[in-house]
Structure formats: structure tokens, C-alpha cells
Structure 1
């Protein structure tokens, strides 16, 4: 019974491992682009599961104790809360961590290079138009790829 709670390393190793792996995964997710985060495909889900499996040993260092699990889970929760607090209070940190919206189209003109760079397919863009009841791109005032991966489309005013 004691083995369930016995740590295989000092407690601070678990905190350090959780912080490093959290930062690594955060950077990798940020580098993967907005669409990868905002619009999960089956491939993205598989990738997320595999990343979780790949970093598991990096966090726990082979420790299977309940105490280690509690330390790591608590550390990850505190990191997540601290990150949310930082982002809500610091505009520069928010921009660095979450990015900024990207203009995909303006005044009826689509920017194909931007679509490719942001990994937005033409079909995804057309779907966003349909979801906003816009039949033709010429009716678009502004289309933005938001930081959460969703596409916001604003129609031209009908004067």
C-alpha cells in the first residue's frame, strides 16, 4: 500500500518536469498554427493523443505513484491558471502566446497567400462564408482568422 504513495524522485523533479513539458507543448501548439488549434480534424485528434502519450514519461519520469500524479496534475492546473491570468492582464503576453487575428479577405478580395500560410483551405473559407449567409466573396467587407482558429466574416453594408 505504501508503494502507491512512494515517490521515485524528489517532489520538485515532478514540478520541474511538468513546467518544462507544459512550455514545450505550448510552444509546439503555437507553432502548429491557428487552424490546427481551432478546427480539429481526425488527424489533429490523433496527433493530440500521441503527443499526450509521447510527453507522459517526460513528465512522470517513470513514477507511477499517486503522490507523483497529484503533484503533476496540480502543477499543470496551476500553470494553466497562471497562463490565463498572465494573458488576461498583459497584452504583449497575450499576443505572443495566442497570436493576433489575421486578415484573410478585405473588400471582396481574398488573399490566397495568407490562406496558404495559415493552412486555411479554400473549402474552409467558403464554408465560413456560407455560415455567415454570404453567397459571394464580393460581399465580404472583412474576413479574419481569429486566434482561436475560427473564421469571422463581416459582410459589406447594404446602403
Structure 2
């Protein structure tokens, strides 16, 4: 039979939960921001991080990994709180936004590969050419710019000024 009082009385000091949740969130945010920007795909890093951590925190709280529901709810609150706080800081202060939300990085400009930027993000020539082929571009001379966006995705602008994602662009079925 369930002990209803134990389900709601925290068995871990509340400050410990806040500290553990904060350290894990900030450590994972930093690692994802610095190391795995390209791996996050089209989901923003903070979105991905919140989903993973929330799933883990909620699972522990629901499955009895904690002896109290309060522990799990508090940890979920800490994770959501850090996500909100970092987004609010990035919104209000441009200097912080540059650290929290990485800007886009130009990989190709006017048909020329910017090797330094490619090395910085560990993108090979083959990966770049694969990306261009997927956009229907066979020749670098047809590329005005390729950018790696802050979410890890890529955007391609053709030399004639239209994005390869533009449905009106020549050569695309309409």
C-alpha cells in the first residue's frame, strides 16, 4: 500500500536538487553549444536539452527514482527555469545572446569554400558537396553563400539571388 505522506515529502534536500539540476543543465548546455552545434539538426540546442532533461527528470519522479513527487517536480521546475532565464537574458542583452545563441557561420561565399570555417565546425568537403547536391546544386560557382545556422541546419543562397528552398526558383518543380 502506498504511503501517501512519503510521496509528497521530499527525501532529498531541496537546495541539492536545485544545485544538481542547475549544474547539469548548464554543463550540458555548454557542451551542446560548443561541441555539438551541428549535431542538433533543426531543433534548437536549448529545445533539445530541455526535452532530454525533462524526460529524464519526469521519468525519475514518476517511476520512483525519487521517493517523493516533489523532488521530481522541483527538478523539472529548475530545468524549465534555466531554459526560460537563458532565453530571457539572450532576448534582453545582445552580448549575452552571442554566447547563448550562436550566430550563423558562412561556409561558402561567392563559390569559394571558406576552409577556416569548415575546419572550425569539422565539416568535410564531401559533407558540403552532399548538402549542395541535396539542394540541387552541382557546381560551387552557382552558390552565392552557404551558412551553417545557429540551430545546426544549413541554408544555401544561389548566385542568382534566390534561395534553393524557394519554390519559385528556376529548376525546381512547381
TM-score (norm 2): 0.70
1:4 alignment counterpart: 7
2:151 alignment counterpart: 148
Distance 1:134 1:94 in 2: 33
Alpha-carbon RMSD:
2.8
20-29 vs 110-119, which deviates more?
A: 110-119
Count residues with an aligned counterpart. Answer: 144
Deviation at 1:97, TM superposition (A): 1.5
Distance 2:149 2:100 in 1: 13
Distance 2:83 2:154 in 1: 25
- Contact 2:86-2:100 at 8 Å conserved across structures: no
Q: Which runs of 5+ in 1 are unaligned?
A: 41-47
Q: Which runs of 5+ in 2 are unaligned?
A: 44-48, 162-174
Report the 3-state secondary structure (helix = DSSP H, G, I; strand = E; otherwise coil) of the residue aligned with 1:120: coil
Task: Select the structure with the greater relative contact order (CA < 8 A; seq sep ≥ 6).
Answer: 1
Work out which of the residue numbers 125, 131, 136 in structure 2 matches 1:133: 136
Distance 1:111 1:39 in 2: 23
Distance 2:94 2:131 in 1: 28
Residue pairs, 1:1-159, within 5 angstroms: 1=3, 2-38=5-41, 63-157=66-160
Structure with the higher fraction of residues in helix conformation: 1
TM-score (norm 1): 0.76
